[in-house]
């Protein structure tokens, strides 16, 4: 009987390993960029075509490889960074498993050119699906160039699972930004289909963040720095007023390696507790340096998850550091219950010197003088006002005015007022007109009721209907926006002053693709630049203050990709805008607003569910209510 278990051929094993390492073109970009960084390169160029499906090329000026290393780097489990198993717990480099190049070569056409500085000639190798096609010497510049073409050419099923070019390109941008942010001392250049997308010269950490995300990034950054025995923290967090709906600009780097950590993210959010709006996400660019032997980065194939030895201490230090920075730069509110603000010195008195008060003494005053004498002096004529004899008993009392009681004499006597006062008429403060007549108000009060600022109750013949105000408004707005984009020509309201809204490069790519659909919705774009858009008109049912929030929510909803056909694209935009603009739970509505919402809901084509397929209302029959009271 023949054996059942057998060893897999090398090319099959490489393709299986490639499934873990290479999931999309962005995975190739990550591996090649990290290899270039490990080669001590100071200038790295990334060139891609068709979102990496046709070409991913990384050119660096690093130390290069000799002939033997150039051939051996494509072998499985071949690495220059590990000699012993203990080295896994003291890593200072990026890629270390020795599977990346072997996996990439198994599913693509690879051309590698490399040369060391001291060598006269370099090596050029061409591989197609793990098969060495050619290897020859060539005149090359110092460094290494990897060109990966026709990704997944021999695995059509995997290629069919790739997303649209827009989605794959955005994933490549994410990987490029992560490597570029971790190494501000390296010059990075990024080209897509012949156009330069990024040119990041060697700079400081703050300049690198600003160069990557452009716009008004510089003014929203708050520096964070802390030195402890456990961890060294530096980087930046954003001011609360610049928080966004999505979690795009959030980066953790541990020992210059990008990681994802929900635990550390919770520490950041805890530092912002009380100063962020509900649902808002702050931006942060935090660089943590810890001892290499205190972390384990070999727990995930992409090495984006790390296990820390003392997570609780790291959590406390990170939270305290961010909270301290927000307070130090007067971003977070400071409450001091022991300080009385009324005792603060006003600004215009702060630098003034005290003035010595002057004291005047009446030398002629005699408290024991006879009242007759005082009256004599008080009632003396208009002659000289000085004392005639200079005696100390001659107190001069000023002329007495009428007694204060005289001010109130006659107030209670009606005869003191003019008789015409009864005929004086005053303007009535009673409102003589209202927006709705009494019959309408009475009718409204009897038909709709709001409960807990969440539900609207309206009686019907068979019982009553309970409407979820937020979901109902979402359905009404959704059908309005969809009709504007597909059937009617949307109306716009022109802005007196155009809005300048700044976005990152990846977000600008999305806006460029959505521009036509947004115009059909009612937006008017006056200008579109590399890092911002100028909007001069907005839909009629959108306020100026809601535009930024609406676009942020739309970009957040489309992070996973824009639908290919126009109807699905319009449907997605309409859903996102309806979710952003719908009245929220906890909002108090007037009687007329409640009526309009209920009437608008049941005028929809599909009033039963919201755009997100959740029920908008329920009905309760009188019989069901009677059963509740049955004994």
**Which of 71-80, 255-264, 562-571 has the highest mean predicted lDDT (pLDDT)?**
255-264
369 lies in some domain: no
| Residue 115 binned pLDDT confidence (cut-offs 50, 70, 90) | very high
Asked whether residue 210 carries a pLDDT value surpassing 80, the answer given is yes
At 445 the pLDDT is: 42
Tokens in use for 189? 């250049």
End-of-domain residue from the set 262, 297, 328: 328
| Residue 189 binned pLDDT confidence (cut-offs 50, 70, 90) | very high
365 lies in some domain: no
At 383 the pLDDT is: 46
Residues 150 and 226 in one domain: no
Asked whether residue 349 carries a pLDDT value surpassing 80, the answer given is no
87 lies in some domain: yes
Asked whether residue 391 carries a pLDDT value surpassing 50, the answer given is no
At 327 the pLDDT is: 84
Q: How far apart are CA 539 and CA 25, in angstroms?
A: 38
Residues 266 and 165 in one domain: no
| Residue 243 binned pLDDT confidence (cut-offs 50, 70, 90) | confident
Q: What is the pLDDT of residues 65-98, one digit of tens each?
A: 888 888 888 877 666 555 545 545 555 566 544 5
Residues 115 and 224 in one domain: no
The CA dihedral of 23, 26, 32, 35, to the nearest 10 degrees, is -90
Residue whose C-alpha is closest to residue 48's, from 221, 133, 165: 165
Eight-class DSSP state of 197: E
| Residue 371 binned pLDDT confidence (cut-offs 50, 70, 90) | low
The CA dihedral of 296, 298, 299, 303, to the nearest 10 degrees, is 110
At 444 the pLDDT is: 38
Q: By the 8 A CB rule, do 581 and 477 touch?
A: yes
| Residue 387 binned pLDDT confidence (cut-offs 50, 70, 90) | very low
Q: By the 8 A CB rule, do 532 and 137 touch?
A: no
Mean pLDDT of the chain, nearest integer = 78
**CATH number for position 607:** 3.30.1370.100
Asked whether residue 436 carries a pLDDT value surpassing 50, the answer given is no
At 187 the pLDDT is: 95
Asked whether residue 555 carries a pLDDT value surpassing 90, the answer given is no
Residues 22 and 163 in one domain: yes
Residues 271 and 304 in one domain: yes
427 lies in some domain: no
Q: How many C-beta atoms lie closer than 10 Å to residue 40's C-beta?
A: 11
At 571 the pLDDT is: 84
395 lies in some domain: no
Q: Which helix (H) or strand (E) holds 563?
A: none
Q: By the 8 A CB rule, do 124 and 137 touch?
A: yes
153 lies in some domain: yes
Q: By the 8 A CB rule, do 469 and 597 touch?
A: yes
Eight-class DSSP state of 281: B
402 lies in some domain: no
Residues 514 and 452 in one domain: yes
Q: By the 8 A CB rule, do 65 and 35 touch?
A: no
Average pLDDT of the residues in 604-631: 88
Residues 187 and 223 in one domain: no
End-of-domain residue from the set 181, 200, 219: 200
What residues form DSSP beta bridges with 295?
308
At 93 the pLDDT is: 60
The more confidently predicted of residues 370 and 491 is 491
523 lies in some domain: yes
Residues 146 and 270 in one domain: no
**CATH number for position 154:** 3.30.565.10
| Residue 542 binned pLDDT confidence (cut-offs 50, 70, 90) | confident
Residues 93 and 224 in one domain: no
> In degrees, to the nearest 5, what angle opens at C-alpha 285 toward C-alphas 248 and 223?
135
The more confidently predicted of residues 15 and 252 is 252
Q: By the 8 A CB rule, do 611 and 480 touch?
A: no
Average pLDDT of the residues in 176-201: 92
Q: How far apart are CA 620 and CA 324, in angstroms?
A: 54
Asked whether residue 388 carries a pLDDT value surpassing 50, the answer given is no
Asked whether residue 217 carries a pLDDT value surpassing 90, the answer given is no
User: Percent of the chain beyond pLDDT 70?
Assistant: 74
Range of the domain at 102: 10-200
Residues 173 and 64 in one domain: yes
Q: What is the pLDDT of residues 450-473, one digit of tens each?
A: 888 899 998 888 888 999 999 999
Q: How far apart are CA 22 and CA 214, in angstroms?
A: 30
End-of-domain residue from the set 328, 343, 358: 328
At 435 the pLDDT is: 41
| Number of domains, the chain | 3
User: Percent of the chain beyond pLDDT 90?
Assistant: 22
At 284 the pLDDT is: 92
Q: 419-435 burial, b if ≥16 CB within 10 A, otherwise e?
A: eeeeeeeeeeeeeeeee
Range of lowest pLDDT (150-159, 263-272, 407-416, 481-490): 407-416
Residues 32 and 142 in one domain: yes
Q: What is the pLDDT of residues 523-534, one digit of tens each?
A: 888 888 877 889
Residues 167 and 225 in one domain: no
């Amino acid at each position: 009987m023949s054996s059942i278990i057998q060893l897999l051929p090398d090319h099959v094993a490489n393709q299986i390993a490639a499934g873990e390492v290479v999931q999309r073109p962005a995975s190739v970009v990550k591996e090649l960029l990290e290899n270039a960084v490990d080669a001590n390169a100071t200038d790295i160029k990334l060139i891609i075509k068709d979102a990496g499906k046709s070409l991913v090329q990384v050119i660096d000026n690093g130390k290069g490889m000799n002939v033997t290393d150039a051939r051996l780097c494509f072998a499985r489990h071949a690495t220059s960074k590990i000699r012993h198993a203990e080295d896994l717990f003291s890593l200072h480099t990026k890629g270390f498993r020795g599977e990346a190049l072997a996996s990439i070569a198994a599913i693509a056409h690879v051309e590698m050119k490399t040369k060391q500085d001291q060598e006269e000639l370099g090596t050029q190798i061409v591989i197609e699906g793990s098969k060495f096609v050619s290897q020859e010497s060539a005149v090359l510049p110092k460094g290494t160039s990897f060109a990966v073409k026709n990704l997944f050419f021999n695995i059509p099923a995997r290629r069919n699972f790739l997303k649209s070019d827009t989605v794959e390109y955005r994933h490549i941008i994410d990987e490029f930004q992560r490597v570029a942010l971790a190494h501000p001392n390296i010059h990075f250049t990024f080209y897509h289909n012949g156009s330069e997308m990024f040119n990041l010269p060697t700079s400081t950490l703050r300049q690198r963040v600003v160069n990557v995300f452009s716009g008004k990034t510089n003014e929203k950054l708050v520096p964070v720095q802390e030195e402890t025995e456990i961890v060294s923290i530096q980087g930046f967090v954003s001011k609360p007023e610049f928080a966004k709906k999505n979690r795009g600009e959030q980066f953790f780097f541990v020992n210059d390696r990008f990681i994802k950590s929900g635990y550390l993210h919770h520490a950041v959010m805890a530092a912002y507790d009380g100063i962020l709006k509900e649902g808002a996400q702050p931006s942060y660019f935090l660089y943590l340096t810890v001892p290499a032997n205190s972390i384990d980065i070999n727990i995930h194939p992409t090495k984006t998850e790390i296990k820390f030895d003392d997570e609780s201490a790291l959590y406390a230090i990170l939270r305290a550091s961010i909270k301290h920075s927000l307070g130090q730069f007067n971003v977070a509110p400071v409450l001091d219950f022991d300080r009385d603000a009324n005792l603060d010195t006003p600004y215009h008195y702060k630098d003034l010197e005290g003035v010595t008060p002057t004291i005047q003494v009446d030398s002629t005053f005699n408290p024991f003088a006879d009242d007759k004498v005082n009256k004599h002096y008080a009632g003396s004529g208009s002659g000289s006002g000085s004392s005639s004899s200079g005696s100390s008993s001659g107190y001069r009392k000023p002329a007495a005015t009428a007694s204060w009681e005289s001010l109130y004499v006659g107030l209670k006597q009606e005869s003191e007022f003019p008789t015409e006062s009864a005929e004086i008429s005053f303007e009535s403060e009673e409102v003589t007109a209202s927006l709705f007549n009494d019959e309408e108000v009475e009718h409204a009060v009897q038909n709709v009721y709001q409960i807990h600022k969440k539900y609207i109750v309206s009686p019907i013949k068979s019982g009553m209907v309970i409407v979820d105000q937020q979901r109902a408004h979402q359905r009404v707005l959704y059908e309005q926006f969809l009709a504007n984009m597909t059937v009617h020509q949307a109306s716009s309201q022109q802005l007196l002053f155009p809005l300048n809204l700044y976005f990152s490069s990846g977000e600008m790519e999305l806006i460029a693709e959505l521009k036509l659909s947004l115009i059909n919705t009612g937006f008017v774009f006056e200008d579109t630049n590399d890092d911002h858009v100028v909007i001069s008109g907005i839909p009629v049912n959108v306020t100026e203050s809601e535009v930024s929030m609406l676009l942020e929510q739309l970009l957040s909803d489309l992070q996973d990709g824009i639908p290919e056909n126009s109807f699905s694209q319009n449907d997605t935009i309409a859903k996102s805008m309806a979710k952003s603009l719908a009245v929220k739970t906890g909002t108090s509505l007037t009687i007329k607003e409640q009526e309009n919402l209920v009437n608008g809901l049941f005028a929809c084509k599909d009033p039963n569910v919201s755009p997100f397929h959740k029920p908008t209302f329920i009905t309760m029959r009188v019989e069901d209510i009677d059963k509740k009271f049955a004994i």
